[in-house]
Structure 1
Amino acid sequence: MSAADVVHWMLTALFTAGAVHALRDGVLARSSGWRSRVDHVLDIAMALVMAVMPWTSGHMLPELPQTVFFAAAALWFPLTAFRRAQDSRLVDIARRSPHAAGMAAMAWMTYLTAGPSHETLAEGISSAHHTAHVGHSTAAEGGELVTGVLALYLLACALRSLTHDMPTLRGASGTVNATTSMCGPYNHFWHGSMSLGTAVMLLMHC
């Protein structure tokens, strides 16, 4: 087994576990509202597609419908943010932005997999060939920029989530309400792990 296969198996295990977590603690939880359930259904869809993407079967899924679906999912998270009693709407948008970035990364990966359709140019039209080559180079540079921005943001989100509760873990373990206190770190762990896995998949895919 090659090193790439090991990484692929690790990513598959991570995203499969993430889908189970979203199903159990989000969709099936009685305390979840309608918006939370939709959020978790979208997370499950992304995690399952990501789980099969490293393998051949992942490329058998139609790319264009996936791109449209995940692009719409990326818009869902900021558009459905609402103002709470304690927080402003901007705070809710910021809280939901890592999910939106993950969906945008998924849409970008499926878009790159589909690839733009290129028309075959006649051999005698050298100027048209040169123009197409320049346009392709510009598009490639723009694509690398989009990939870099998404990957950096996802890595930043992963680092923030995974280290968010580190100073409080030791104190929470000895309290009476340890189970309740660990809910926050538990959710932050999964959010950070999914962001990290998405960033790794994005960099490997592009």
Structure 2
Amino acid sequence: MSATEVVHCMLTALFAAAAVRALGQSVLTRTGACRSCVDHLLHAAMALAMAVMPWSWGGALPALPQSVFFAAAALWFPLTAVRSGQEGQLSATVRRLPYAVGMAAMTWMSYRATGHAHETMADGVPTAHQAMHVSHSMGGSKADSVVTGVLALYLLACSLHSLTRDMPTLRATTETAGNSTSLRSVCNRFWDGATAMGTLVMLLMPH
């Protein structure tokens, strides 16, 4: 097994576990918490799509419907940020922004897959249009790099923040095992950071 295949297996295992967790959370969501249930289902859908994306047979999934679906999912998180207790609208939106960016990254990867599928590399391109075609491709490549870079930096920041936030107090949190809320928060942040890092790796991998 090559090193690339090992990475693919690790990503598949990560996102498969994340999908199972998200589905389990959607089932355990209390009655009436419609927004939370939809959140978990969207996370599960994204994780399942990411689990199969590294493999060649994952390309059989239609890219355009994926782009539309995950673009709508990216809008769902900031648009459904509601006032919760003392939390203002801006704070609620910022708190849900990492999930929106994760969905946006999935949209971008699906969009790139659609664009690559429609590229024409045949020698039959008319000579009069070759220069324009090359110039357009170079401009598109630069724009692609900028979008990919911005998404990658944000995902990296989110991942490091989630994974390192509890490190100084990890021992104290473990010792207070009776505090289920704290343990649940630590677990949630771990999965948020792990999936953000996995999404970052997927974003930077050649497709």
When normalised by structure 2's length, the TM-score is 0.92
Give ranges in structure 2 of 5+ residues lacking alignment. none
Q: Distance in 2 between matches of 1:47 and 1:176?
A: 29
TM superposition shift of 1:85: 2.1
**Residue number in structure 1 paired with 2:125:** 121
**Residue number in structure 2 paired with 1:60:** 60
Q: Distance in 2 between matches of 1:199 and 1:152?
A: 9
TM superposition shift of 1:168: 1.8
Post-superposition CA distance 1:40-71 (Å, at most 9, x none) = 11100000010000112210000110011111
Give ranges in structure 1 of 5+ residues lacking alignment. none
**Residue number in structure 2 paired with 1:158:** 159
Q: Distance in 1 between matches of 2:201 and 2:125?
A: 36
Name the CA shift for 1:85/1:180 in 2 (closer, same or farther; >3 Å): closer
Q: What letter is aligned with 2:84?
A: R
The answer as to whether partners of 2:177 and 2:183 remain within 8 angstroms in 1 is: no
Q: Post-superposition, which runs of at least 4 consecutive aligned residues in structure 1 deviate over 4 A?
A: none
TM superposition shift of 1:169: 1.6
| TM alignment of 1:1-206, pairs within 5 A | 1-24=1-24, 26-31=25-30, 33-115=33-115, 117=118, 121-123=125-127, 125=128, 128-175=129-176, 177-205=178-206
What's the Cα RMSD here?
1.6
Q: What letter is aligned with 2:141?
A: A
Name the CA shift for 1:69/1:167 in 2 (closer, same or farther; >3 Å): same
TM superposition shift of 1:154: 0.4
Q: Distance in 2 between matches of 1:118 and 1:186?
A: 43
The answer as to whether partners of 2:18 and 2:191 remain within 8 angstroms in 1 is: yes
When normalised by structure 1's length, the TM-score is 0.93
TM superposition shift of 1:9: 0.2
The answer as to whether partners of 2:29 and 2:36 remain within 8 angstroms in 1 is: no
Post-superposition CA distance 1:138-176 (Å, at most 9, x none) = 110000110011011001000000111112221122226
